[in-house]
Every structure is written in structure tokens, then in C-alpha cells.
Amino acid sequence: MSDFNRRKFLEGSASVAAAASLGAGAVFAPAVHAQTIKLTPEKGAKLRVLRWSRFVQGDIDQYMKNVAAFTAKTGIEVRVDNEGWEDVRPKAAVAANTGAGPDIILSTNDDANLYPEKLLDVTDLAEYLGKKYGGWYPAVQSYLRPDGKKWLGLGLGAAGSMMVYRTSMLKAAGYETFPKNTDDFLKMCQALHAKGTPPGFALGNATGDGLWCNWLMWSHGGKLVDQNNKVVIDSPETQKALEYGKQLYATFIPGTLSWLDPNNNKAFLDGQISVTNNGISIYYAAKNATDPKVKELQSDINHASFPVGPVGSPTESHLFFNQMVMKYTKYPQAAKEFLRFMMEQEQFTPWLTAAGGYIAPPLDFYAKIPVWTDDPKNTPYRDAVKNMRPTGYAGKLGYASAGAGADFIVVNMVAEAISGSKTPKEAMERAQKRAERYYKV
Amino acid sequence: MLERFQNSRNALGLAFMLPAALLLLIFLTYPLGLGVWLGFTDAKVGREGHWIGLENYEFLWGDSVTRLALFNTLFYTFVASVLKFVLGLWLAMILNRNIAMKTFFRAVILLPYIVPTALSAIAFWWIYDSQFSIISWVLLKLGLIDRYIDFLGVPWNARISTIVANVWRGVPFVAITLLAGLQTISPSYYEASAIDGATPWQQFRYVTLPLLTPIIAVVMTFSVLFTFTDFQLIYVLTRGGPLNATHLMATLSFQRAISGGALGEGAAISIAMVPFLLAAIMFSYFGLQRRAWQQGGKD
């Protein structure tokens, strides 16, 4: 049960007032609303949690501290297994299919929509947290409340995919700030290329870093499917995006067609590229580096949101994280209590802070915590979930969107067209045919 | 009754065989049967499938990515198997001679095989890196190239690079097994042929090769099967990219069935591999292993 009560809320409010009166803007002031939920863990409950392996060390260190605090408080033993996020999906799929495995799974993107009937209904918990912490962002609801009523799981956040750039290299190319629109972005990339400090974006089958291809397509009005899940990727808008991409690709460092998720990190930290898309892990690595050469980069690295394209609004695509309770669990109440505990501010705020901005929050309240503003370089990552479009935009999530994403339909279409391996029309036709297979369901 | 049972060779044989048969049934026949069944359904992850007959296969037949994966698999298997055979036989012949530190070299040759595949794949991933490749670095320093080679970013480069990595891993298996075969050939054949004036090539052609054929048949059957079903190396190195140029049937099956959730379609891709694997086994069985001369008759 929540240990947040009216007294604490008043204490929190008082601290806000005190902070305001003292002008101490840095003092963290909770503004949560009093909510309660009654969960009674089963006697003798034990839990197994499967989660994706950390990308930043602070994440797992604090997560495990929170787990230990949960065990100390409730006496419920929790075993946490870590797998690379590529491997969580197959394991979760097997667990859902066989009805045996971890009680709680922290997975990625639209997994919850692959087997909704195998997941425990957590509507009460989601509503409790939503009301208490300023509401879930719309993207979270798309992923986890597909029918607008029942919650299939809880959002954990997203690894924001933002622009990561070298300030000095941009300056040398004549840019003081990062461009806000796609036209200026292209010009900047051309200038960077001319200076011998090219950009580089992954075009291989990269699960996380291939997401920039969604941005490329969406920013020009292209999309995989419409609201009725009709495949419409073969369109004039997508063609425009691909034509734009061809010009962009001409500025890239050679070799991006083979890039998987770790390649851009390596190239960036080695000083070979000036701009890429990534989570905050590059900055985190520089900040915490023991190698003085890498540590030096810390002051030069900065982040920005993706430029806005002709559609006129942000079209960001990020790696979303779910928390699912499997229906077969023997301890549903304990599992829900675990998730509640981990999502409460006493645990969630230190966790987000320790992760150094790697996980963008799913609830509005957590966008206000100091980690996003104490270091201004973290700020662009703060609103990743708030601004993101779900995979499979503009259609509904489910088997089809998951399959299309896993098959790298958009990434391969972009790679084929912008590298010149196929004409944009040929690449779109192939993507259309392949996507229609999934959306035939 | 018990005594009769204990004295019956047939009954005892059956009883001793039953545990193994049961294990085979559970761990081999059942998954294979399930795979065949799934291939005829539209099963998705977390959802029971419905019988759809040959629909998965019809779709796969027209699917350009599947056809490309089939081509890649055949090309990968053929080229890698031939190279593994040639290099493996050559190494086995060298190691069969009385060279200094023979035991040491025989142990060293096994190293690529005992290193976990994922680990060696990561090593190759670094070797082939578009920005950090040691090969490119050396060639550049020697002035032989003027820019880094894009090993995994160009379709044909990627195909060849993955084949090289596979050959590196697979050669020790072929070499050591053929070496074992060479060790069984009596030196008297060589002595006799030498007295008859046979050249080294003639000794190889008319003594070594025929006597080694049964072991070649076995080792190449296994080699072809392992190569055709390769997964880990590709998964770590390229995930099937660039532009699906290195997708093998096994990686495509995994991608569609597990990551993509299309269990039925993924199973159909896996089952589509079976005829090719059977053909490889049949070729070895009928073409090489059952040659009449092996049974004392004429070739």
C-alpha cells in the first residue's frame, strides 16, 4: 500500500512554498496527488523479474537497491534476471506461449500487444499511478491501453533517441545551435561533411538506433499504415522522405549500412563523427570515463531534439519500455505491489536520477525532477515519451506492428533507397508488399 | 516369465533401447512434428494457430526476402563447405606429417572450434568494423588502400566476410576429423606405392583420397548441415543486413517467428530447410558411403 499520505503531501506542499520563498529553485518539490490503492501480497510470495540489461551502470545499481528495499519492506524475495533487450522479446514470447517463466517482464515496444490475453489486468494500478503522478503520456496509453479501457501493463519509460552532437565540430561548420527543421539540418550535415566531420546514422538492422528511419519517413508525412491499419507506405510523402534521405546519406561517414546499435557510439566517442542519434549513453560514457581522452569529450557533447520536417510537428521515435505482469503468476498481488513500489517517487526518482537521463519518464510528474535540469544537456531527453509516436504509427499496435518493426521494413526501405541500391519507388513497393503481409491479420 | 524375458535378446534389446527412443521422441520428434504443424497454421506468439494449409509456403515462394535468404544460404553453404574441405584437408595432411611440435600444432588448430561462436563472432565484428577494422588499418598503413574497406556494409562484401568467419570457425572440425582418418591409413600403402614409383600426387590421388572417402563423406555431411543451419555468427555480425544480403534461412526464420511473432511463417521457413538438409544427407549416404567397394565389391 502507498505510504504516501495527506501529511506527507502537506509536507511536500510546504517544501514547495519554502523553496519558492527562498528562491531555491533547485529544491525538489513533489506535487503528487493523494491516491490510495490496496494491494495485499500473497503469503510466501516470491517473484521473478526479467528485464533488459542496463546500458548505463547507474540504472541497474539503483534498480537493485530499490528491489532490496522492497524485499526488506515486504519480505518478498525478488530474483532479477537481465538479458539484452533483443533477447527479452523471445523469452517473453516463450513465457507467454508456454504459461511459465518470470512473473514480471520488462520488455520493449509493442510486446504487450502481441499477447494481451496472457497479461494480468493492471488497470487499477495504472489508474492509481496516473492520477497520483500527473497522468500517463498519450504514447504510453497507445502502447498499454489499446482499447482505451484496460491496461495491459505499466509504462516504465523510453530510451530517448535524440540527436547527439559535437559542439566544436558544429561551430567549425558555422553552426552555433542545432537546426530546428529538416532543411537546415541537411545544410548543416553538408557543411559538416565538407569539413571532414561527417554525421553517421545506423542503417543496419539496429533495433534502437534504426529508429531514426521512422523520423525520416514521418517528418515528411509518410507512414507505414493509416488509422485503419491499411498499409500506405508506398506514397508520395514517403518518396519525398527518401529523396531527402538520399541527400542526407551523401553526407554520412562510409559504412553506415552495416551499423548495428553499438557502432555509432564507438565512432562518436572516437571522434570520427560529429552527429548521430542515440540515447544519453554516449554522454554518460564520456561523463564517467576513466580514459582522459574520452572524458574530455563531456564538455563538447550536446543533445538536441530531432528537427521538425514539412509536417510541422515533432515526429520522434523512441525505444519504449513496458512492465508486464504475466497472467500465469501465482502471486498477482505481490507482483502489482512490486510494480507500485518501484514506480513510487521514493524509488522512481532516485532510479531515474541514477540512470542519468537514460530513461525518459512515462508519467508527467517525473518530468519535473531535477535530473532533467541540473545538467541542461539532459533536458532534451526529458520529453521523449511525451513527444514520441508509437511504432506502427498511425495504426493500432499489435502483432502486425511488432512484426513489421522486427522485420526492419522501414529501416531496410530507407537503407535501400538512400544508398542507391534501389530506387525510392522500388524500395517503397517492396516495403508495401512486405508490410501488407503482416497487416493482413 | 521374467526369466524368459531376461533370456530374450529381442526383448532385452528393446528394453535397453526404450529410454533412448523415448528421449529421441520427446526432444527430437515432437519439436520437429510441432514445427511441421505450425508451418501449416497462422499461429502467432501467444495465440493458437488455425490450419491454413500451404498458405505460408505460397507466400514465402513469392517473398523476395525469403528467396534472397535461400540464395544466401545455398551460396554460403556451398562456398564455405568447399573452402572448409580444401583447407581442412590441406591442414590435416600437414599435421599428419612428422613435423616439429606436432602435438602443439594439433592442439592449436582446434582453438577456433572451441571458442564460443558468439565470442569469435564479436571478434570478427571488430575485425570487420567499418571504422576500426585492423585489416583496413594495416592495408592503409601499407599504402595498399586509400580508405577503409566496408566489409559488412556492401552486400557482396558482407556475404564474403561472413563466409570467411564461418570458414575460420569450421576448418578445425574438418581438419581434425580428416586427420583422424589419415591416421588410420596404414603406412605400408605409401611404402608399396613409393616402391612402384608413385609420385606424391599419385599417392594422394590413388591411396589417400579413396581410403579417406568414408570419413570425408561423414565430415562433409556434418559440415554442410552445420553451415546450412548457421545462426549465431550471422546474428552477431550482421543480423541479416545489409539490406538482407546475409540473411540465412535460420536467421530469417528466427526474425519472423520470434522477434516478429509470426510463428507459423517462421516455422514454415525452418521446415523449408529440411528438403535441402535431406538432400545433403542423401548425397553423402548414397553417393559416398555406400560405395560397393567399401563392402568388399567392385567400385
Say which amino acid occupies B186: S
Say whether residue A316 is in contact with chain B using an 8 A CB cutoff. no
CB-based contact A407 B150, cutoff 8 Å = no
pLDDT digits (tens, 9 = 90+) for B205-232: 999 998 998 889 889 999 999 999 999 9
pLDDT (average), residues A135-143: 95
* Residue in B with minimal Cα distance to A116: B46
pLDDT score for A55: 83
Q: Give the strand order in the sheet containing A319-325.
A: A77-83, A46-52, A104-108, A319-325, A154-159, A359-360
Facing residues of A108 across strands? A321
Q: How far is CA A79 from CA A53, A87, A307, in A?
A: 14, 18, 42
B289 contact partners, CB below 8 Å, separation of at least 6? B214, B217, B218
Among B45, B241, B262, the residue with its CB nearest the CB of A205 is B241
> What ipTM was predicted for this assembly?
0.79
Mean pLDDT, chain B cut into blocks of 10 residues (299 residues total): 82 90 90 94 85 93 91 97 96 88 83 85 92 93 92 94 95 93 92 92 91 89 93 92 92 89 92 92 72 53
Q: Do A90 and B258 lie within an 8 Å CB cutoff?
A: yes
Question: What one-letter code names the amino acid at A87?
Answer: D
Q: Please, what's the largest Cα pairwise distance for chain A?
A: 67
Average pLDDT, chain A: 90
Q: What is the CA A20 to chain-centroid distance, rounded?
A: 33
Interface residues from chain B to A (CB-CB < 8 Å): 44-47, 59, 63-65, 128-132, 147-148, 150-155, 158, 238-244, 255-256, 258-262
pLDDT in the model for residue A14:
38
A385, A158 in Cβ contact below 8 A?
A: yes
* pLDDT at site A85: 80
Distances in Å between the Cα of A211 and the Cα atoms of A159, A203, A437, B222, B243 are: 11, 10, 21, 40, 16
Residue A260: list chain B partners with CB under 8 A.
238-239, 241
The answer to whether residue A437 neighbours chain B at the CB level (below 8 Å) is: yes
Question: pTM here?
Answer: 0.84
Q: State yes or no: pLDDT of A21 exceeds 80.
A: no
- Which among A270, A412, A433 has CB closest to B243? A412
* Chain A positions in Cβ-Cβ contact with residue B150 (cut-off 8 Å): 254-255, 257-258
Over range A71-87, report the average pLDDT. Answer: 92
Report pLDDT digits (tens) over A395-432. 989 888 988 998 899 999 999 999 999 999 999 999 99
Euclidean distance between CA atoms A129 and A140, whole angstroms: 13
